[in-house]
Amino acid sequence: MILTRFVIIQESLLVVLFAQIFDRKVTMATTMQAVQLDEPGTSDKLYIGTVAMPTLTANEVLIKVFATAINRADLLQRKGLYPPPKGASNILGLEAVGIIEDKGINCSDKLSVGDRVLALLPGGGNAEYVTAHEGQVAVIPSGMSFTTAAAIPEVWLTAYQLLHFVGKLQKGEHVLIHAGGSGVGTAAVQLVRLAGGVPIVTAGSEDKIKKAVSLGAEVGFNYKEGSFVEKVLKQTNSESYKTALVKEFSENALPYFNVGSTHQLKTVIDTVFPLQDIGRAHQYMEDNKNIGKIVIQVRDEKQEPPRSEL
């Protein structure tokens, strides 16, 4: 009698469990909130609207976005001067960080549902969810917050690409970095030092130069105070792409963001805006007020479930 009751109870629990799983699948959201732009224009044209969830295709992962960021390309796209690549989302956003919710067919085993990741995107990052090719996604270093991680993908990969894929940086070389106080500039300064090079920067204010120097720049010049060419030549004594990029960056640079690592790399975040203030964030960048990255918070980090719940 006791055994029979035990079996009935167990069966009931299974029924409830399957019902919960089935209900989760059935009620899974089909829409999300995202940055919208009806026509090219100024930053006040941006707003948050309801759109369809992105469709997951082969070799892609679906990411629940916790933070994203803005770049100069976003400003140009908003103005109608930089159309998204063919087939890409028309939602702004070239990067995002969050948790993998699902995987498409043909995905490898290098990433798993529940992984905390950062992604380089052709668009679509300024939204609650986004899909990304698995080859352009990397696991966030252990202990790093989503806000900090959001300052990595676009600027650090751009800087890494320019220095190593394009410039073929060698140890001991001097590197002149324009806009040394920008997101890409502050990243490039640190990557040059990591590679054993000597970074020199130009910037439009003494505060930006000081920041670059604090990150490792040997010297900085204010381009508003006349020509910097002779100064740079004197200083140097006249010394004369995406999946592969993400893979190499993940192996050769990303580990140095871990606390306590040799030559630790540091993200430089100027301001964090909530997604609802995307227009203010764009204006802030257009006014050239930022030193480092402007991050957009999509969800509160406290909403991240414990790993055991994923």
Give the H or E element holding residue 63.
Answer: strand 60-69
**In this structure, what are the phi and psi dihedrals at residue 270, rounded to the nearest 5 degrees?**
-85, -55
For residue 269, which amino acid is it? I
**CB-based contacts of 259: which residues, under 8 Å, 6+ apart?**
143
- Given this structure, which CATH class describes domain 31-152+269-309? alpha beta
Beta bridge partners of residue 130, listed in sequence order: 63
pLDDT in tens, the chain (310 residues): 444 433 333 444 443 444 444 444 445 689 999 999 999 999 999 999 999 999 999 999 999 999 999 999 999 999 999 988 888 999 999 999 999 999 999 999 999 999 999 999 999 999 999 999 999 999 999 999 999 999 999 999 999 999 999 999 999 999 999 999 999 999 999 999 999 999 999 999 999 999 999 999 999 999 888 766 666 666 655 444 688 889 999 999 999 998 787 788 999 999 999 999 999 999 999 999 999 999 999 999 877 776 544 4
Return the structure tokens found at 59: 């070799």
- Whole-model pTM? 0.84
- The fold of the 155-249 domain, in CATH, is Rossmann fold (3.40.50)
CA neighbor of 99 nearest in space, from 137, 156, 52, 53 = 137
Every domain of the chain and the residues it spans: 31-152+269-309, 155-249
Residue in this structure with the two tokens 């009620």, named with its chain if needed: 27
